[in-house]
A = this chain, B = another copy of it.
Amino acid sequence: MGLVVQKYGGSSVADAEGIKRVAKRIVEAKKNGHQVVVVVSAMGDTTDELIDLAEQVSPMPAGREFDMLLTAGERISMALLAMAIKNLGHEAQSFTGSQAGVITDSVHNKARIIDVTPGRIRTALDEGNIAIVAGFQGVSQDKKDITTLGRGGSDTTAVALAAALDAEVCEIYTDVDGVFTADPRVVKKAKKIDWISFEDMLELAASGSKVLLHRCVEYARRYNIPIHVRSSFSGLQGTWVSNEPKQGDKKVEQAIISGVAHDTSEAKITVVGVPDKPGEAAAIFRTIADAQVNIDMVVQNVSAAATGLTDISFTLPKTEGRKAIDALERNRSGIGFDSLRYDDQIGKISLVGAGMKTNPGVTASFFEALSDAGVNIELISTSEIRISVVTRADDVPEAVRAVHTAFGLDSDSDEAVVYGGTGR
Which chain A residues have a beta carbon within 8 Å of chain B's beta carbons?
16, 19-20, 23, 50, 53-54, 56-62, 64-66, 68-69, 71-73, 75-76, 78-84, 86-87, 92-94, 96, 99, 120, 144
Contact = CB atoms under 8 A, between A and B. Distances in A.
B83 A76 contact: no
A94 to B, nearest CB: 5
Overall SS of chain A's interface: helix
Q: Ordered nearest first, which 4 A-B pairs have the shortest CB separation? A: A16-B56, A69-B79, A58-B87, A68-B79
A65 B86 contact: yes
A58 B84 contact: yes
A57 B83 contact: yes
Contact of A76 (B53, B87, B96): B53
Contacts of A99: 144
A56 B23 CA distance: 13
Contact of A16 (B16, B57, B75, B78): B57
A64 B54 CA distance: 28
B68 A78 contact: yes
A90 to B, nearest CB: 12
A57 B75 contact: no
A68 B98 CA distance: 13
A150 to B, nearest CB: 17
Contacts of A50: 76
13 contacts: A16-B57, A19-B57, A58-B84, A62-B82, A65-B79, A65-B83, A68-B75, A68-B78, A69-B76, A69-B79, A69-B83, A72-B76, A120-B144
A133 to B, nearest CB: 12
A53 B20 CA distance: 12
Contacts of A23: 57
Nearest to A134: B68
A141 to B, nearest CB: 15
Contact of A61 (B62, B83, B93): B83
A62 B60 CA distance: 38
Contacts of A84: 57-58
Contacts of A57: 16, 19-20, 23, 80-81, 83-84, 87
A79 B61 CA distance: 9
Point out which of A66, A76, A96 has the most chain B C-beta atoms below 10 A from its C-beta. A76
Contacts of A72: 72-73, 75-76, 79
A357 to B, nearest CB: 49
A58 B86 contact: yes
A80 to B, nearest CB: 5
Contacts of A53: 16, 76, 80
Contacts of A66: 79, 83
Nearest to A78: B68
Given A53-B76, A75-B75, A65 B87 contact: no
A193 B211 CA distance: 63
A339 B61 CA distance: 64
Given A50-B76, A53-B16, A80-B54, A87 B68 contact: no
Contact of A94 (B65, B86, B93): B65
A123 to B, nearest CB: 10
A56 B64 CA distance: 32
B65 A82 contact: yes
Nearest to A15: B56
A148 B80 CA distance: 16
Given A53-B80, A69-B79, A69-B83, 10 more contacts: A16-B53, A19-B57, A23-B57, A54-B79, A57-B87, A59-B87, A62-B86, A64-B94, A65-B86, A69-B80
